Amino acid sequence: MIKQIITDDRLGESCISALHPSGLKILICPKTEFATAYALFGTKYGSIDTRFRIKGEEEYTDVPEGIAHFLEHKLFESEEGDAFTRFSATGGYANAYTSFDRTCYLFSCTERFEENLDILLDFVRHPYFTEATVQKEQGIIGQEIKMYDDDPAWCCFFNLLCSMYSNHPVRIDIAGTVESIAQINADLLYKCYNTFYNPSNMFLCVAGNVDPDYILDAVDKALAGVEGVEIERGTFEEQKGVLRAKVEKEMPVAMPLFNIGFKEACTPPVKTLKEKIETDILLEMLAGKSSKLYNTLLQQGLVNDRFEASYFTGHGYAVEIFEGESSEPYKVADAILGEIERIRKEGINEEDFIRAKNALYGRNIMLYNSIERVASSLVSAVMGDYAPFDVQKTFEAATLKDITDRLALQLKPERMSISVINPVKA
């Protein structure tokens, strides 16, 4: 097993990075001063992976939307019972989640870490699907889909994606639709599992009061003799511009909700850590709590403290999103466009740049006070293909010119779309 220790002297933190012969990537951040431990065992497989093949196969496999999330639900079951029961016997709290590009299984505990880790490595590696249990799950997830359909914030977000993307599967709800999950069967689940749950496409990230040597030995035992595979993901032709400039829907809300997005071209399909950090700094300058835009909108009563901006990006998609509540969402959109244009003409204020950069850098440092956030940051490092502590180094290296160059490439008015959830009319 290839292993190295990565240290950041300024933070006083160290991580162990290891690559198992099976291809599994392992990141461990021991923090013996904490009583708890947090572990995530995950795969680079999410809702956007609807077309794929293993290298050597002639044809791509197309699967129903929502199958990655469906598979996450089913993996907790086995012939002997469910994994939650096993964790409860050892005092571990277990959970899982599926996003656009990953699926993670996790637990946290204050004792009996070794037993909990063995359970995690075991149940994720042993799928059990039957047609009867699949049909039962279709009803359960169908209810979950309907629940999200009633969530105004969730609908506002996905309506934005649907207005921006015409073909990319990021426009589809992570759980799929009632119609799409009805097409899922046991054979399709095994096909997806055998493709994406290969260790060469997976990772294990652990933080807390743990023994790294035990973790590496446990992985060796669990994955002895397993060989990696190479996955080829399908591509989706996507237009540069947005599909629609605006989309509105009525739901039972007290005040209109809005998501304002600026679509980016994705060539190459994955943004670098440098691009992400620079965009985060740019958005903090534009819409952070100390920004001129935020305070002007707040004083005018056009937004409240829920107004924020974020960078939503993954394989083949990238969108800067401004979101919040407002009685006049289109006036907010005009104000955002006006502020972007003003900064383009006048240039970025150096004090604003330093303040935004320091604020984000400080927040990143603070995450090391939370075991859960440290473990999640390790997952982000694996997914982004960068080393632990590279985020801090990238923040430190960012310059005013970098952010100016980033602004010249992003936040184009012609690629803007707005999604609004309006109150139901009487």
Residues that are catalytic: 72
Residues in CB range of 228: below 8 A, 6 or more apart? 22, 23, 198, 199, 200, 201
Residues in CB range of 223: below 8 A, 6 or more apart? 20, 22, 24, 125, 199
Structure tokens given for 185: 């069967």
Q: What is the DSSP letter of 191?
A: H
Cα 247 to Cα 420: distance, rounded to the nearest angstrom = 6
Cα 373 to Cα 416: distance, rounded to the nearest angstrom = 32
DSSP 3-state of 113: helix
Torsion 13-90-86-175 (CA) sign: negative
Element (H, E) at 47: none
Tell me which amino acid residue 335 is.
A
Beta strand segments in 126-270, E: 202-208, 231-233, 246-251, 257-263
DSSP 3-state of 153: helix
